[in-house]
Structure 1
Amino acid sequence: MIKVHYLENSQAIRIVWLLEELGLDYEIKLYKRDKTTKLAPEDFKKLHPFGTSPLVEMDGKVIAETNAIIDYILDRQSQQPLRPEKNSESYEKYNFWFHASQASLMPMLFTSFLFHKVTTSVPFFLKPILETVSKKIHTIILSPRTDRILFLLNQDLGKGPWLCGEELSAADIVLGYSLKVAEARVGLSNFANCRKFIENMEKREAYQRALERVGGFSTNL
């Protein structure tokens, strides 16, 4: 039995959605974030040296990192409905966005989130200084890089409802969380295909079942 250690409002929603798409049996243990720090509780952190979400128990071991978990689960399926055939054109796009969503887009969004948290929580006399620093870093680095990623993503999503066309893949499952965060943090008003992707995701029955299993989901920490 697969056991998902689910930290509320976290990237672990990807894993629950994946399992619903595959129709696999699994159980969930829910963990609430600390009300003050918004971080994982101590009993969650003790499960793995990283102490970050998502975490999954399978085959007598605890597995961390979104993409590592997804690959581990998919590698153990007799059929591969969520991965295109290797060496195909679809696989190249799948493999690129499977990693770029997590390794390129999410760091930009997370850094932007950290700046927002810091500038809104410091004493008033420090706020002007940090706001100036934040604005410069957003202008020079964060905003241009985020826009470039979203521009390319928006182009690729213009060729079908999902990254590889008509068929959902695990790359879409990784992307879904990233785009929900992008929608909340930087906005997607200039990226119509990205907004349409979110609409398609939220209409999908397996995604709706995932939300029911975890009691809803929010990017507002």
Structure 2
Amino acid sequence: NTRLAPAEYKAVSPLGTAPCISDGDVTLAETNAIVDYIMDKHDDGRLRPAPGTDNRADYLFWFHASQGSFQPLLTNKFVMMAMTSRAPFFLKPAAKMLVGGLDKAFFGPRLSAFMAEAEKALGKHKWFAGEELTAADIVMGYSMELAAHRAGMDAGNYPNAHRFLQQMRAYPSYQRALEKDGKGTILL
């Protein structure tokens, strides 16, 4: 299992990446590009604070930090962990030492700093960009689920982040997405 998107994605997306949508003549990959496209067509302004409003800067930061900072850190950490677990037995000690060093020097501190900022933001507001759900929360939701399942983010360490996940999981649309995807396959 390569954990790459299925080969049939190449018929839709030249990079063969997921997620990818097709809407008439438009085919679009990349999470935030897709979310922006859908909001441009269907949002009534509830999911994206307008320019000049109080929550706009927070919205922009968290909307882009999810895919630009948080998700790459999580993905790279998981790839390194998988590399260690899949290494031949005679290379495992060296792989564990290398990955442990990278985690201690790079991934761990950066993930901790990111989570500290997320915890602080969620301590000020119900959601990342204020008191109402926005697209920033939607894109952060997936990364926060990954962090909860694979990076040790729990209620004891991050109570505000845990509350955020509970709020997300309570949304009927979130539950429908899990049903469509197949419970448990949402995570890497």
TM-score > 0.5 by shorter chain: yes
Q: Could you say which residue in structure 1 is the equivalent of 2:19?
A: 54
| 1:42 correspondence with 2:4 | no
| 1:182 correspondence with 2:182 | no
Q: Could you say which residue in structure 2 is the equivalent of 1:14?
A: none
As a proportion of its length, which structure holds more helix?
2
Q: Could you say which residue in structure 1 is the equivalent of 2:60?
A: 95
Match of 2:34 among 69, 82, 99: 69
Q: Secondary structure at the match of 1:167?
A: coil
RMSD, matched Cα: 1.5
Q: Could you say which residue in structure 1 is the equivalent of 2:105?
A: 140
1-side partners of 2:168 and 2:34: how far apart?
Answer: 21
- In structure 1, list runs of 5 or more residues that go unmatched: 1-35
Q: Secondary structure at the match of 2:28?
A: strand
- In structure 2, list runs of 5 or more residues that go unmatched: none
| 1:212 correspondence with 2:187 | no
Matching of residues 123-162 of structure 1 within 5 Å: 123-162=88-127
**TM-score, scaled relative to structure 1:** 0.80
Any conservation in 1 of the 2:141–2:168 contact (CA below 8 Å)? Answer: yes
CA shift digits 1:99-121 (9 cap, x unpaired) = 00111011111111011111011
2-side partners of 1:142 and 1:219: how far apart?
Answer: 22
- Aligned residue-pair number: 186
Any conservation in 1 of the 2:6–2:16 contact (CA below 8 Å)? Answer: no
1-side partners of 2:45 and 2:84: how far apart?
Answer: 45
Any conservation in 1 of the 2:20–2:28 contact (CA below 8 Å)? Answer: yes
Higher RCO structure, 1 or 2 (CA under 8 Å, sep 6+): 1
Deviation at 1:78, TM superposition (A): 6.2
Any conservation in 1 of the 2:119–2:161 contact (CA below 8 Å)? Answer: yes
As a proportion of its length, which structure holds more strand?
1
Any conservation in 2 of the 1:161–1:200 contact (CA below 8 Å)? Answer: no
